[in-house]
Structure 1
């Protein structure tokens, strides 16, 4: 990617997308952001992008991509509970439409934002790297649809269209409208509990590091390649969640639930949901279990070597930033 580019972005009004717009615009790039509603259009325009009003599944995406050098596909249905047909349409069919439109518009590069959850099986994933094969049976609809989206995207890689994939894990930091609010709500309502003590390791990805990774990938990613993205050092899950809650003035819980019990409840709940067509559900899904109940740590040496990725901010600096923002200090 040369110094200044025109970039088409999907998912621009979401947590990751909003921050990507801010980062890319600050670097001098022009960003065209897909927006399916007036509210989404306002959100992306407030960040400095030009809104292109269309729907991921039905709009004329190629028109919005005209004159763009690259596409960053960040839009996704991240539901860890219901999944289903809509999730497949957004994540798989939506990816196929983005890839097809990029080819029609003559775009040179597509970057798909995926997830480490494509590897989720319910078992621990310690130190996994890009050579780890996808499981034969996905743990849930989110993992299944994102894995299929990766297959669709990478199959389109060619000499005319360079396609690469980034897989971040547990995105966190300022402006978080996803994980942190959910954690706070669960803690306040008394529904948050540690799983077998919560003393296993997890990888995390600060939003600033993810934005830096996207910029680096647009310049350096090899076509057809996948890259894990995360903060360099993993952290104990319980310690990190406790610190996140503390930044919001919330005390972490003490109660703990056995992992085997939760796995049994999740498996039963998924079975009931399948039999009832989703009308009956358990307290959690196996998809949720896989995301937070076992060690998931990523080997990011490939991204650090090939993309020249570096942490944009330390974990403690990110936590301090959240504390300052809560106290009303502009940072």
Structure 2
């Protein structure tokens, strides 16, 4: 984020955050790096879990204190001790076939981190989840937090993140509140996930719109997510879930085309019928299951559910209870990306 984005995000609340020392998992990732920048700019001490020396270097360069370890380690409580709040941002976000490793990280990792936070005396936990916990491959239209988790989720990512949510919420008590945030399509400067994948698909000639790509999507600029996390620390109720997004949904094709344009790329006009893509995804999942993971399909229902149908969110609850207001618009975020590309 630019200094302007950080400043706008910092001005989103009238009062300073009530937590002075924050422990963060996933600190070297896209979301984690920006959370560090956001809270350091607010004068808040941040300690971030770092699995490797490289991760520790990234965390330290951003102004946070690295804590070497893994979310699956025993003894995390000693590293978390002395912190007021925990933000759990670490996750295996793979959209391929389900794996035991992904389940272990997302489910067992969440359980161990939250148990360690409780043992360390942390006063509040923010668990970062995803709208994908509701994904089945069918459109999600203007959904809010009352939508039930599906019996048959789209894939391993949706299933394991839904299980992680259940674990997080089950541990929430009046003395140890756990709040869950569900952003959708996180984007912005310093993105090392969605935008690079889109760029690679275009450059490799593998990019195509699904049935024209005119369906709606909600999005979440990284500065808006950081602001929402701060507001959730201050105002989020324990045991509650909040959808986070940039505001009104936008056409998927228009938004992705604009993202690519900021990097000097033009999205191709190729389009594939949705039923065909859905069939390819189903076959891919079947082959992966039959081969017990030896066959890695080019498309899964998990990835289809993320990008092939409308996913639009109602963020009214976050507006009402957290006083959440997006601090960066689509236009501002896209201009920031253009400046980033020009400055590289």
TM-score range, shorter chain: over 0.9
**Structure 1 residues 203-282: aligned runs within 5 Å:** 203-282=218-297
What secondary structure is seen at the aligned counterpart in 2 of 1:164? Answer: strand
| Structure 2 contact 27–59 (Cα < 8 Å) conserved | yes
What secondary structure is seen at the aligned counterpart in 1 of 2:168? Answer: helix
Partner of 1:157: 172
| Structure 1 contact 115–167 (Cα < 8 Å) conserved | yes
**Large movers: runs of 4+ above 2 Å:** 1-4
Partner of 2:12: none
Partner of 2:67: 52
Structure 2: distance between partners of 1:241 and 1:102: 38
Partner of 2:124: 109
Q: Are residues 205 and 145 of structure 1, via their aligned partners in 2, closer, same or farther at CA, if it must alter by over 3 Å?
A: same
C-alpha displacement at 1:283, in angstroms?
Answer: 2.2
Partner of 2:10: none
Structure 2: distance between partners of 1:21 and 1:105: 21
Gaps of 5+ in 2: 1-15
Partner of 1:129: 144
What secondary structure is seen at the aligned counterpart in 1 of 2:100? Answer: helix
**Is residue 199 of structure 1 aligned with residue 214 of structure 2?**
yes
Structure 2: distance between partners of 1:3 and 1:36: 28
2:318 to 290, 303, 325: 303
| Structure 1 contact 265–282 (Cα < 8 Å) conserved | no
Partner of 1:72: 87
TM-score normalized by structure 1?
A: 0.98
TM-score normalized by structure 2?
A: 0.94
1:61 to 73, 76, 88: 76
Structure 2: distance between partners of 1:197 and 1:52: 46
| Structure 1 contact 54–60 (Cα < 8 Å) conserved | no
What secondary structure is seen at the aligned counterpart in 1 of 2:343? Answer: coil
What secondary structure is seen at the aligned counterpart in 2 of 1:252? Answer: coil
Partner of 1:317: 332
What secondary structure is seen at the aligned counterpart in 2 of 1:326? Answer: helix
C-alpha displacement at 1:59, in angstroms?
Answer: 4.4
C-alpha displacement at 1:66, in angstroms?
Answer: 0.8
Partner of 1:141: 156
Structure number with higher relative contact order (C-alpha < 8 Å, ≥ 6 residues apart): 2
| Structure 2 contact 97–155 (Cα < 8 Å) conserved | no
Gaps of 5+ in 1: none
| Structure 1 contact 122–139 (Cα < 8 Å) conserved | yes
Q: Deviations over 1:53-82 (max 9, x none)?
A: 111102421011111110000000000014
Q: Deviations over 1:17-66 (max 9, x none)?
A: 00000001100110010011100101111111101111110242101111
**Is residue 288 of structure 1 aligned with residue 303 of structure 2?**
yes
Partner of 2:191: 176
Structure 2: distance between partners of 1:230 and 1:183: 20
**Structure 1 residues 1-16: aligned runs within 5 Å:** 2-16=17-31
